[in-house]
Amino acid sequence: MSLLVVGLSHRSAPVSVLERASLSADAKVKLLHDTLAAEPAAEAAVLATCNRIELYADVDKFHAGVAELSTLLAQHSGVALEELTPYLYVHYEDRAVHHLFSVACGLDSMVVGEGQILGQIKDALALGQEQHTAGRLINDLFQQALRVGKRAHSETGIDRAGQSLVTFGLEQLAVHLPVGEWAAGKRALVIGAGSMSSLAAATLARVGVAEIVVANRTAERAERLAEILVASGTGVTASAVAMSGVPDELTRVDVVVSCTGATGLVLTADDVMGAVSWAAADGLAQAGPGSAPAEPESRGAAPDPAPQTPAGLGLASAEPGVNADGMDAEVVARLVAAARDGGRLADAGAARTITAGAAVDRDGCPVGLDAPAGDPARAADGRAALTGVDANSLELHGTWADQGEAAAQRQPRRGTRTQADGAAVRLALLDLAMPRDIDAAVHRIPGVRLVDIESLAEASADAPMAADVDAVRAIVAGEVAAFGAAQRAAHITPTVVALRAMAAEVVAMEVARLDGRVPDLDERQRAEVTQTVRRVVDKLLHAPTVRVKQLASEPGGAGYADALRELFDLDPLTVASVSRADAADKNDDSGRAS
């Protein structure tokens, strides 16, 4: 039997494919059992994270194993095999071991050196043990991968080469500011209470946010996480809300981190648009005509650098009859009414798109919503130009305006879906789920900054590699060689045990025969003769068995077990029974993932 891994990751597949191929908890269990039911596989484990989906199996046939594992991945992920195949990679035997050890050390992570993957490997092994699909090879492999990962983090500075996905995501949201300075005093909403969401909440508390609200489908888990945060000693205020309370929380928080196991969107573009618009309109209504919206005192964040419309950007100058925020009383009333009704605001992007249109010299809007040179009245009032326009036309107009903004700015931060650096951010969103929790379209909403798995992948491509990466690669190479040698040596052990058992049986038979031929031997003499015969047999077998283990541990040494069986005419059933007993003992002693 040989180790085989078939999978796809952020390195081989676009995020859109990874998102569609993600596995639910039930799908993982079914995939494991279907893999064992397949003819080529004897044991299996599945490692499924937001960045990778990998199926490990002990197979007796390489080509049949690849075909079967690929088909099973396609069936349980819901992505057609012909579509999935171009993104799949295959590793076999030592290359498969090298791959998992590299993954465990964070060398294959989106953010090099991150430690979150160790917990995910531990969970994968625990699931295989729970479902009884992890046999001797999978147990040995994953347990050793955990040890190698821990060794890499303790003996090198690989942690300095990268950081957790949460920290990296917050750095992308903070853009030009240190994360601690950017986060100080902010309110945050964490959606989900699993391992990644808990890590996100703990990270937010550590970097200095003032308040964290946890929303989760299971209220008890959200409340427990909130209690842990309060007791963490960071001084953060934490509370729990039901998922139904998320829309209200969106109107009062500055940062949202979402990582749930939902198969659909948790936050739609309409949800975010409504929250941002309501918050802006509410601020304007409280401030009164001619005043900028007041920032809530409890938020603790620095005030926005410029007055903001509900679209997230201030107009270039105030017109007659318009307040300092570029909004007259009628528009404020419309905003408040629309926000209360939960609808999308028809003129939400007017200020941004008209400003962009004036700044960039390019072809006209494809649906005629730009301001023609011969129509100064229309150029002066962008909102009038958008009145009554259907949603599809607004989308086309927004795309055209975004292209103009990108051309004018010329310095977008790669990998971060964001507004222009000069625009204040009303709501920062970090989506760490796969499939995504937050509609990707929210990055087009003025005043909203979105960082998701796809943008993190793009940003991390530019991250510098630390010198410690080479040291970790050396550790992995050495551990792979040691693991392979141990596995090959273990492969011949049942044959050696069977040989020694046969020799012991021969000694016992000959001693019994001696008793029959020389019945007058007393007990002391019989014991001495028996011990002498055993010593002779042991000495004859010692050198060959030690040497055959050494030879079997080297590459290509698998044939020595067969040679030993042939030379000593060992019963294959006896060898197999030793293997089964050894595997049972191994599984009993392995315990749960540690």
> Residues 50, 105, 259, 365: which is the catalytic one?
50
The single-letter code of the amino acid at 81 is L
- Are 422 and 312 in contact, with CB atoms under 8 Å apart? no
CA dihedral 432, 436, 442, 448 (to 10 degrees): -10
How far apart, in whole angstroms, are the C-alpha atoms of residue 507 and residue 501?
Answer: 10
Q: Which residues contact 462 (CB under 8 A, 6 or more apart)?
A: 414, 415
Q: Which residues sit opposite 257 in a β-bridge?
A: 190, 430
CA–CA separation, 140 and 22 (whole Å): 26
Task: Report d(CA 543, CA 551) in Å as an integer.
Answer: 12
SS3 300: coil
221, burial (CB in 10 Å: exposed 0-12, middle 13-18, buried 19+): middle
Task: Report residue 370: phi and psi, to 5°.
Answer: -75, 170
Alpha carbon distance 177, 186 (integer Å): 14
Cα 512–Cα 515–Cα 518 angle in degrees, nearest 5 = 150
Cα separation, 183 vs 254, whole angstroms: 9
Sheet with strand 41-48: strands edge to edge:
41-48, 52-59, 2-9, 89-92
187-191/211-215 β-pairing = parallel
- For the question of residue 105 being annotated catalytic, the response is no
The H or E element that residue 173 is part of is helix 165-174
Stated as kind and residue range, the H or E segment containing 56 is: strand 52-59
DSSP 3-state of 433: coil
Alpha carbon of residue 96 to chain centroid: 20
Give the single-character DSSP code of 343: P
Residue 3 contacts by C-beta under 8 Å, 6 or more apart in sequence? 56, 57, 58, 59, 92, 93, 96, 97, 137, 141
Q: Give the containing element (helix H, strand E) for 169.
A: helix 165-174
Place of tokens 């799949």: 88
Catalytic residue numbers read 50
